[in-house]
Structure 1
């Protein structure tokens, strides 16, 4: 009979830890941030902006991206720090299926009090 109560205690603890872990992202992000980026490589003519917009929307980020005249994709993104970090990793490592990422530059993230954009847009 002692094995049943001891089995139930870990599950209660796991439930408690799960709920605590679930709340960590909102308490550790510290609010909204904005960051500018520029991605180098084969990123034009390979649907990089479209895939960037999709990923940003999936992560609930707002902002914009555009092709530059020197062959890069530049943009700005706003959102919770955790989602921004996930997007930075995606921009550095994944991109669109036919892209080749040679480098990614990110400016220092700035704290913002509210969103400046309604969604994530492609600027043409």
Structure 2
């Protein structure tokens, strides 16, 4: 095994520390959830990632609160690459089009009924 770059540890060591699957960590590096890179065929991860995401860390992306009967998840931050955010927003806009059309027709029917009702009373 090659020597780790400065400020990085091997994915295997990180997996042992975090008690995670090596493949999952590599996928998270590829998804840009973790900072890491492949050097000479070996994967390495930034050593600062060891402390990130623990429940004691105030920078945690998700906080889970338990009140004894149910669990509540509070999303504090979303770490997402820019292009993924753009794709998400485009999908959101496309998904909103049918809802807009449906609301338009409901409004049309409502105003038609209201107009006919008021027209019959007045005229």
**TM bracket (short chain):** under 0.3
Identify, as 1 or 2, the structure richer in strand.
1
**Scaled by the length of structure 2, what TM-score is found?**
0.24
Identify, as 1 or 2, the structure richer in helix.
2
Which of the pair has more CA radius of gyration?
Answer: 2
